[in-house]
Amino acid sequence: MGCPVALHQLMLHCWQKERSHRPKCTDVVSFLDKLIRNPSSLLSLVEEIQSLPESPGEEMDYPMFISIGDWLDSIKMSQYKSNFMAAGYNTLDSVARMSIEDVRRIGVELIGHQRRISSSVQTLRLQILHEQEKGFHV
């Protein structure tokens, strides 16, 4: 495909969601503005996403994250942005592959913070898997 994951997710949200759940024009503009401000989010291509274990068959509505910073902000762990960047985690795809040991290794010492980040990493894995499995149905 050669399409960046962030743009692919946006297209899926625009095409596959029920009309009332599709992003509004202002949401799309805001999303694209964030992409422009964070071009590294365009580095991960759809075909580069590795297969992940199967998820439950239920439809889940995951939020779309553009950057690691957005993701950490959403889970109230923004104080670790520099830890992730210093350890080389600069795409959400790389974060989705993290283990609890990786979280500890980058300097997250508080157990509650480790658990919160690890739990969110699992959700991120499911989000990536879900977006890849859905595809676009004509």
Q: In which residue are the tokens 């762990």 written?
A: 77
Question: For 104-134, what is each residue's pLDDT tens digit?
Answer: 999 999 999 999 999 888 888 877 776 665 5
Neighbours of 45 (CB within 10 A): 15
Which CATH number covers residue 31? Answer: 1.10.150.50
Question: For 42-78, what is each residue's pLDDT tens digit?
Answer: 665 544 443 333 344 434 444 556 678 888 988 899 9
Per-residue three-class SS string for 28-93: HHHHHHHHHHCHHHHCCEHHHCCCCCCCCCCCCCCCCCCCHHHHHHHCCCHHHHHHHHHCCCCCHH
Domains held by the chain: number: 1
Type of residue numbered 103: V
Q: Is the dihedral of CA 105, 79, 72, 114 positive or negative?
A: positive
To the question of pTM greater than 0.75 for the whole model, the response is: no
Q: Domain span at residue 24?
A: 5-134
